[in-house]
């Protein structure tokens, strides 16, 4: 009986992790796409645009990336715990 509980909890944690990781991954992809677009635009304009990122300062996008990375790490930890519980459910049998 305990193995079924471990399986259910593991599957639920895995599902929650997959559901929660979609938003940070989407935002990270959007930030990457915008950065690439800005670099293309800058090269097209002759490289005359100077930004905070060029001078080594942290930008709002850098802060958002860091926040998204933390959220993705939390989701990855949830997924790992879910997989461990599923495996433990088979081991307890």
- Tens of pLDDT, residues 56-70: 777 787 888 899 999
8 or 60: which leads in pLDDT? 8
5: pLDDT strictly greater than 90: yes
- So what's the pLDDT on residue 48? 61
DSSP sequence for 24-76: HHHHHHHHHHHHHHHHHHHHHTTS----TTTTT---HHHHHHHHHHHHHHHHH
Predicted TM-score (pTM) of the model is 0.74
Q: Which of 58-62, 74-78, 79-83, 85-89 has the lowest mean pLDDT?
A: 58-62
Question: What ranges do the domains of the chain cover?
Answer: 2-92
Q: Is residue 52 scored above 70 in pLDDT?
A: no
């Amino acid at each position: 009986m305990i193995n079924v509980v471990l399986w259910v909890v593991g599957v639920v944690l895995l599902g929650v992790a997959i559901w929660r990781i979609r938003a940070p991954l989407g935002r990270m992809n959007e930030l990457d796409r915008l950065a690439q677009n800005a670099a293309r635009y800058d090269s097209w304009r002759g490289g005359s645009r100077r930004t905070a990122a060029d001078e080594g300062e942290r930008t709002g996008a850098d802060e958002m990336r860091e926040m998204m990375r933390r959220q993705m790490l939390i989701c990855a930890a949830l997924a790992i715990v879910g997989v461990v519980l599923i495996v433990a459910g088979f081991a307890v049998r």
